[in-house]
A and B are shown apart, each in its own frame.
Chain A
Amino acid sequence: MTETLGMSGYGIYVWSTFALTATVLVYNEWAARRRFRSVYRDIEVRIKALENRS
């Protein structure tokens, strides 16, 4: 087990790269969802305000 995780001495390079990859994937998902929520909320606020006025 320790041998596998050690990656014959290159563990620090291999694992940091895969950790960075996971971070980039999670960031992309999070950023795309956050963008949708913020756009949706802006439109919702504006339309609801128009609705209430009429």
Chain B
Amino acid sequence: MWKWFHQLASPPHFFRLASVLIPWLAWPGYALIAYGTFAGLFVAPPDYQQSDAFRIIYVHVPAAYLSMMAYMIMAIAGGIGLIWRMKLAHAVAASAAPIGASFTFLALASGSVWGRPMWGTWWEWGDPRLMSELLMLFLYIGYMALRSAIDDTTKADKASAVLALVGAVNVPVIHYSVEWWSSLHQGATLIREGGPAMDAAMLYPLLANILGFSLVFGALLLRRVRSEVLRREGRTRWVRELVLAPGDSA
């Protein structure tokens, strides 16, 4: 177990492993998204209240889920990096931020476009769900800004890991915001007592999209970790050998 763990944490080993894994995550991921999107748009029946406008859920929920998932990965990887001084963990944390930020933006934008016809507003200042999700976008942006502001990579790793851990408090707040405070936003549909409150014909495309988005996120993350590892290890021998003897590199 520990041998495997240490091997995984070795940059050249991880670099090769990531190269192999990326297509195995990306292609099934995009295939699931293609199925989920098609079935969500054309096969699932319209909702009894929202009619066809509810179909925005097929991208809104996966995006919102990933925005939180990416943040947790970023915070946990940052914590592991702080405790075990593992450089690879910091590389993972740094790589999760831009992808997480893009999905947070998508969750906010799709929610806004959904809210206009259904709630009657693009955006409501003061709504706890909307506010906490917006705060997360700012946390991502702050994290990336902090990283780019510190030239020394080791210092940037530490400072940004602390910021990520502090901001992690916001993740459960987002999830429970609709229960703790009154909100315009609906309650949880999928993760709730008594199981998902959704017809099966509507549910399966949604689950396919959530899984598909997660796999694609995994592929994107590994792709970025590869760049990050290469950048950090630029002066090591294995990178030199890799560059001088190309072939299986890119």
Contacts and interface: CB of A to CB of B under 8 A. Distances in A.
| Chains A and B in contact, CB within 8 Å | yes
B230 A24 contact: no
A8 B216 CA distance: 31
B223 A36 contact: yes
Interface string B30-58: 00010001000110001000011101100
Contact of B216 (A25, A33, A47, A51): A25
Nearest to B110: A17
A8 B239 contact: no
**Residues of A in contact with B, size category:** 20 to 34
Interface string A3-42: 0100111110110111011001101110111011101101
Interface in B1-59: 33, 37, 41-42, 46, 51-53, 55-56, 59
B223 A7 contact: no
Interface stretch (B97-105, B135-143, B160-168): B97-105
A27 B106 CA distance: 12
A51 B53 contact: no
Interface of B: 33, 37, 41-42, 46, 51-53, 55-56, 59-60, 63, 98-99, 102-103, 105-106, 109-110, 113-114, 116-117, 216, 220, 223-224, 226-227, 230-231, 234, 239-240, 243-244, 249-250
A40 B37 contact: no
A22 to B, nearest CB: 9
B191 to A, nearest CB: 22
Nearest to B62: A21
Do most interface residues of chain A lie in helix, strand or loop, or is the interface mixed?
A: helix
A47 B235 CA distance: 9
B52 A36 contact: no
Given A21-B63, A28-B220, A10 B117 contact: yes
A42 B60 CA distance: 38
B161 to A, nearest CB: 21
Given A7-B53, A25-B216, A43-B234, A18 B223 contact: no
Q: Output the residue of B37, B99, B220, B243 with the most chain A CB within 10 A.
A: B243
A46 interface: yes
A47 B243 contact: yes
Given A29-B220, A42-B234, 10 more contacts: A13-B113, A14-B52, A17-B60, A20-B113, A24-B103, A35-B227, A39-B231, A43-B230, A44-B243, A46-B234
B163 to A, nearest CB: 22
19 contacts: A4-B42, A8-B51, A10-B51, A14-B41, A18-B37, A20-B106, A21-B63, A24-B103, A25-B33, A27-B102, A32-B220, A36-B223, A36-B226, A39-B227, A42-B231, A42-B234, A47-B244, A48-B243, A51-B244
